[in-house]
Amino acid sequence: MAPEVKVVNGGVKCMNVWDLLKATVVCGLLAFLCFSFPVLGQALIIGVLSLLWLGYARKTILTLWRK
């Protein structure tokens, strides 16, 4: 579920304070995890980035096949 983003003058998108707070907490927890448990943190980061890469690769391949 994507967060709601408000569009203001000129089509500029703005984050609200709640989104900024959530992003700060998540980044802080990830930094704590990576510094406290480096192997686990690296494995988690590599896993997430791999899933993102596979998702975008799948989307790109499907788009190319449809054309």
Which backbone phi and psi does 43 adopt, to 5 degrees? -65, -40
Residues 4 and 31 in one domain: yes
The amino acid at residue 11 is: G
Q: Name, in order, each residue with C-beta under 8 angstroms of 41's C-beta and a sequence gap of 6 or more.
A: 30, 33, 34, 35
Residues 28 and 57 in one domain: no
Residues 42 and 26 in one domain: no
Domain housing 47 = 38-67
Residues 27 and 57 in one domain: no
Residues 43 and 17 in one domain: no
- When pLDDT is cut at 50, 70 and 90, the band that residue 66 belongs to is confident
Residues 3 and 32 in one domain: yes
pLDDT by residue (tens digit) across 18-56? 989 999 999 998 899 889 999 988 898 899 999 999 999
Residues 30 and 47 in one domain: no
- The helix, strand and coil proportions of the chain, stated in percent and rounded to the nearest 5, come to 80, 5, 15
